[in-house]
Structure 1
Amino acid sequence: MLDTVNITQTRSQVREGSVDNSLPLITIYEISKILGSTLNLEKSIHDVLNILSSYLQMRRGVVTLREDHGELEVIAVAGMSLRRAQEGEERFPLALAQQVIGTAMPVIIHSLADDAQFVRYAAGADVMEDEVQSLICVPLKTIGKPFGTLSIERHRDGTNSFQFEHDVRFLTMVANLIGQAVSLEHKVAADRERLILEKARLEKAIPRPETGKFAAAGLDNVIGHSDAMMKVSAQVRQVAPSRATVLLRGESGTGKELIAKAVHFLSPRADKPFVKVNCAALTETLLESELFGHEKGAFTGATSDRKGRFEMATGGTLFLDEIGEVSPQFQAKLLRVLQEGELERVGGNKTIKVDVRLIAATNKDLEDAVTRGEFRADLYFRINVVPIFLPALRERKEDVPLLARFFLDKFNEENGRGMRFSDGALEVMSCCKFPGNVRELENCVFRAATLAQNDVIQELGLSCHNDQCLSATLWTRRGAGKSIGGLAPVTEQDVPDTFSTAWDNAHSASARPGAARPSIPGPRYPAPSVPGPLSGSDNPVGEGGRYHDQGAAPGDLSGDLPGDFNDSGLSEKDRLLLAMEKAGWVQAKAGRLLGMTPRQIGYALKKYDIPLKRM
């Protein structure tokens, strides 16, 4: 940047008519440095105008550009307010700029006060009584037609004539530099959009590994061969060819995004973009800009027009993940776009038509959200056209070994290893509930592979065997009836007791006759319900797939009880209170009196909402 001393000297030299020959070169050098240092076009052009105000004693400067829609807009000013100039309050005559663009020739207005179209613009300047306002406007162009203008306002002594030829030549050189910068910025924006489309095309062209039945069904990006997933496959193949909106329902980690991609790749829109947005990751303001796009100047930082995800997905598919997290205020805006197929960018007033196929996903209970007024009923009916429910991993246990091997192969490829699972390890993993579903299984595999001492992962190397499975702790701490973080609500049958039934069954087959079952410490997931007619002593796990401890299920105090607790006049709650009083409010002692485990006592206390006393 030119220093203050040089600028002051330059102004004096210009007034005297003796301009330093080196000054134009220095100014051009400074301008080229500014334009080449950043792609922030508005800021760099504003800095250029500031340099011109020092060299040419420019009072006011304006740069205009013709946008894609053909209208001429003010993008940078000096000596005035940009907002006021863009809104027309500064009364800069855009007709002059249109004339310069149309003729591709500079225009000089020797006296603004004497020109009818400039009178109102001239009145807004700070002018001395003996000064004359002049204006020079030159076109911005590279090789083709002009696409903008650079204009500066000069004030001169009315008693002296002034030669503008030198200024016109100099401003033409500056305009060419600005034109090159504008052209470069447009090319970078176009390349970015082209790369996004190319990335989407390449993602669809990448071959995917065969995964058994799903490969034949057209869902080769999904792993599994259980009946539950084959039903999902059939639904996907049936709905994919249509334009119907799809709503994917399921717990967190069940693979909703993979199913959304499968719907897209099996549809006639497969060669068009698949665009995804996580609605829960953005605030309402950012989500509106991300989905609908924004116009330049719509808010701070909006330095150029930007297409939204709806426009980017035109002709293809838009996947809105976690749609249940959208605020009620934004739901109304989203509903209009989905209903009418048209939108307006943030800060714009031009209606844009879009053609997208919508796939939404959520782990929330939308029906409950509609009942509580948290989700608009009209939006619910708009997106709930074809619902597809994805099963939790605990509902398709036969897929666990296949998934576990897939994730282990992925780990081996990323880390250059050759690990494998033992049959016992896969059997144990098949017994787990995995409340975090496939995402939790992947973490479990990576953790076991990372901590394994050799190339074979044994059952003793799993976290659940070493009392380090924190996911199981999360499951047990949620409490009955609660649903958090995309996990399913806990039912009474899901509350864990001692060991997982499936775990014990997996080991009982290999146990010697008469031998005790192996003691496997650590938190366990709730045991699954065991189908069939077994009951009582014929069913080792009892009703609901839970172990009966001393003949009592969790919270059930109706069995044969010792001593004072066998009084038929006592309710279950009274028996529990009496046992807790006799045990000094120690749950383990009360459990022994009632023939129950401490965990069953704890559940019964929660069931009857009995607060614990500290003795």
Structure 2
Amino acid sequence: MDERTQLIERELDALYQVSQVLNRPSGLKAKLEGILEILQERADMRSGMLALREQESDALEVCCVLRSDGVETRKPVRYEPGEGLMGTILDAGCTIVVERIADEPRFLGRLGLYDPALPFIGSPIRVGEDELVGVLAAQPVDSKLLGTRARFLEMVANLIAQSVGLLRSMEQKQLDLAAERDQLKQSLRRNYGFDNIVGRTPAMLRVFELVRQVAKWNTTVLIRGESGTGKEAIANAIHYNSACAGGPFVKLNCAALPDNLLESELFGHEKGAFSGAISQRKGRFELANQGTIFLDEIGETSPTFQAKLLRIIQEGEFDRVGGSQTLKVQVRVIAATNRNLEEEVEAGRFREDLYYRLNVMPIFMPALRERLEDIPELAQFLLTRISQQQGGRPLEIKESGIRLLMRHDWPGNVRELENTLERAAIMSPDGVIDREIIAMTGLEDEISVAGPSGQKPEFNLDGMDEREQVIAALEQTGWVQAKAARLLNMTPRQIAYRVRILNIKMKRI
């Protein structure tokens, strides 16, 4: 067998070993070090060196070298574009063969690595057709068959390029996923943070302050208030402004399920725990580990289920349905209810010990009728959201429409207001919502001159607009706002607001 054939066989064996190294589930640095060892041990190519191009500066940075005696050096070395022999290889984009390093003026010798009497081969590492990502270099032990040696090093560089290309593609996907995650987090904070809760009345300002304070700690929170007041929005704001905002936020309406399903939903179940349990399932508490769980309508649960709920809130422990293993979780609990829990406890329908566990930090949501001054800003906010749902259609509400909205008692609170505005937007052909459009939603029938309670006033308001009605009531009651408010079935705050926005000059009698 001649010398060339022997060399080719050794190179084929080395190429196989390189491919094995590149298929290992290890990091890029470990793979590159393994390749340099193979070049030295199997292919008689010493002083292997790998340099990768920095994407920001285009400079070459030496990431891996191996001396002929097997001792790795980690001396940091960089080559600017076109600098020295390494920079020339990257710029030229082709393999360069030097028969004797001592005779090459472009060789800088920064690494103190190479034997000046031996040859040198450097091959570019190319991803695809155009992207040059680095240089692979080594010294053959002699100057024989340098053309064959150069082609072998090019093949190794091509194998490395595939691995580098795959790695960079994975890194880019990871960066894209991280950017998407950060964007989603910002979107969640924007959509569910304080900016998503509208209100400037003293009652709402107190709510905001409580939310800011409680968000700093892992305290259990009980949000109380009528249906439709925005309790879930407050729970969102607490979670996304807390230290566990990066964790999961899991929600469950406790009134939507019977006890047996509620237990499985919250605590999970083992395979075969009951008919239909064909596999193990994690419950909401387990899914919410290191995050927050929001239990809406907590007052609708039975005392039997409340006992099981008390354990996990108190100890952080629970068992899956049908399971024997006790699991532990770290979850912040936010509960909400529209019931009077004190009365429920007194009646024996709600466990007193659970009540005290939940009521660590109560937040009371005011009814919309108690903060009618927020309706103009709320209406604008809700219309913006409705506009997005309708494909970005421009929507505008006139002052006459706002005044009509402010005369309603809003038993359904903010949810009812949003539904009314959505109906109005649908009924408005040009997106302009005025008194007539609001009336078309059926709201005017509910707020006739008899008022929301249905009580008839003692004087005739037929044919009067709103300003005239308020003035008439004030005149009849001696310009006492509280009495005029009762006459019109309003609260004192409501009539005071109307006096201001309708520019009514109060008389002193």
TM-score tier after normalising by the smaller chain length = 0.5 to 0.7
Q: 1:307 aligns with which of 277, 282, 285?
A: 282
Does structure 1 residue 546 correspond to structure 2 residue 471?
no
1:345–1:471 Cα change, 3 Å: farther
Q: CA deviation at 1:338?
A: 1.2
Aligned partner of 1:564 in structure 2 is none
**SS at 2:362's partner residue?**
strand
**Corresponding residue for 1:397?**
372
How do 1:362-381 and structure 2 match up within 5 A? 362-381=337-356
Aligned with 1:421 (options 393, 397, 401) = 397
Greater displacement, 409-418 / 275-284: 409-418
Q: 1:199 Cα deviation (Å)?
A: 11
| Superposed CA offset, 1:372-412 (max 9, x none) | 11111111111111100011111121221112122222222
Q: Residue 205 of structure 1 aligns with which residue?
A: 186
**For 1:458-507, what per-residue CA distance to the aligned partner results, in whole angstroms no more than 9, with x for missing partners?**
102213x775568779xx9xxxxxxxxxxxxxxxx983424799x99x94
The unaligned stretches of length 5 or more in structure 1 are 1-197, 477-492, 520-526, 549-615
- SS of structure 1 residue aligned to 2:384: helix
- In structure 2, C-alpha distance between the alignment counterparts of 1:201 and 1:286, rounded to whole Å: 35
Q: Give the Cα–Cα distance (whole angstroms) in 2 for the partners of residues 388 and 462 of structure 1.
A: 32
Aligned: 1:285 with 2:285: no
**Cα distance in 2, alignment partners of residues 274 and 395 from structure 1:** 30
Q: Partners of 1:466 and 1:220 in 2: how far apart?
A: 28
Q: Does 1:440 align with 2:398?
A: no
Paired residue secondary structure (2:196)? coil
Q: Deviations over 1:173-224 (max 9, x none)?
A: xxxxxxxxxxxxxxxxxxxxxxxxx9998753316659xxxx9xx6122122
Counterpart contact for 1:254–1:393, Cα < 8 Å: yes
Counterpart of 2:455, as a letter, is D
- Tell me the amino acid that sits aligned with residue 205 of structure 1: Q
430, 433, 448: which is aligned to 1:457? 433
- Between 1 and 2, higher relative CO (CA 8 Å, sep ≥ 6) is seen in 2
1:229 is the counterpart of 2:210: no
Are residues 386 and 271 of structure 1, via their aligned partners in 2, closer, same or farther at CA, if it must alter by over 3 Å? same
SS of the equivalent of 2:195 reads: coil
8 Å contact 1:436–1:471 — kept in the other structure? no
Which of 406, 410, 419 aligns to 2:385? It is 410
Contact preservation (8 Å) 2:189, 2:240? no
Residues 515-555 of structure 1, C-alpha deviation per residue, up to 9 Å, x if partnerless? x8999xxxxxxx9xx9xxx994333772762349xxxxxxx
The 3-state SS of whatever aligns with 1:427 is helix
- Does the 8 Å CA contact 1:535/1:542 hold for their aligned counterparts? no
1:434 and 1:283 mapped to 2: Cα distance? Answer: 30
CA pair 429-494 structure 1, distance change in 2 beyond 3 A: closer
| 1:537 is aligned to 2:495 | no
AA aligned to 1:360 is A
Question: Compared with structure 1, are the counterparts of its residues 452 and 280 closer, same or farther at alpha carbon in structure 2 (3 Å cutoff)?
Answer: same
Q: Judging changes above 3 Å, is the alpha-carbon distance between structure 1 residues 438 and 329 closer, same or farther for their aligned structure 2 residues?
A: same
Given residue 238 of structure 2, which amino acid in structure 1 is its aligned partner? V
Give CA-to-partner distance per residue, 1:387-446, whole Å, 9 cap, x none. 000111111212211121222222222224223111111122123221101100001101
Contact 2:219-2:332 within 8 A present in 1 as well = yes
| Structure 2 SS opposite 1:431 | coil
CA displacement, residues 288-341 of structure 1 (integer Å, 9 cap, x when unaligned): 001100001101111111111111111111110000000111111111111111
Work out whether residues 497 and 546 of structure 1, in 8 Å CA contact, stay in contact via their aligned partners in 2. no
Matches within 5 A, 1:163-242: 204-206=185-187, 219-242=194-217
Provide the C-alpha distance between the structure 1 equivalents of 2:260 and 2:181, rounded to a whole number of angstroms: 26
Query: SS at 1:224's partner residue?
Result: coil
- Counterpart CA distance in 1 for 2:458 and 2:415 is 21
Closer, same or farther: CA 302–469 of 1 in aligned 2, 3 Å: farther
User: Structure 1 residues 517 and 543 mapped into 2: Cα distance closer, same or farther (>3 Å)?
Assistant: closer
Aligned to 2:109: none
Asked whether 1:335 is paired with 2:310, we answer: yes
Q: Partner of 2:275: helix, strand, or coil?
A: coil
Structure 1 residues 373 and 233, CA gap change in structure 2 (3 angstroms): same
Count, aligned residues: 307
**1:261 aligns to 2:219 (yes or no):** no
After superposition, the Cα gap between the structure-2 partners of 1:427 and 1:205, relative to the gap in structure 1 and judged at 3 Å, is same
TM score, norm. by length of structure 2: 0.54
Using the aligned pairs only, state the percent identity.
48
Distance 1:232 1:304, change over 3 A: same
Structure 2 CA distance for partners of 1:304 and 1:326, relative to 1, 3 Å: same
Name whichever of 406-415 and 234-243 sits farther off. 406-415
Do the aligned residues in 2 keep the contact of 1:419 with 1:449 (CA within 8 Å)?
A: yes
Change (3 A) 1:455 1:292: closer
**Local SS of the residue matching 1:315:** coil
- The residue type paired with residue 337 of structure 1 is I
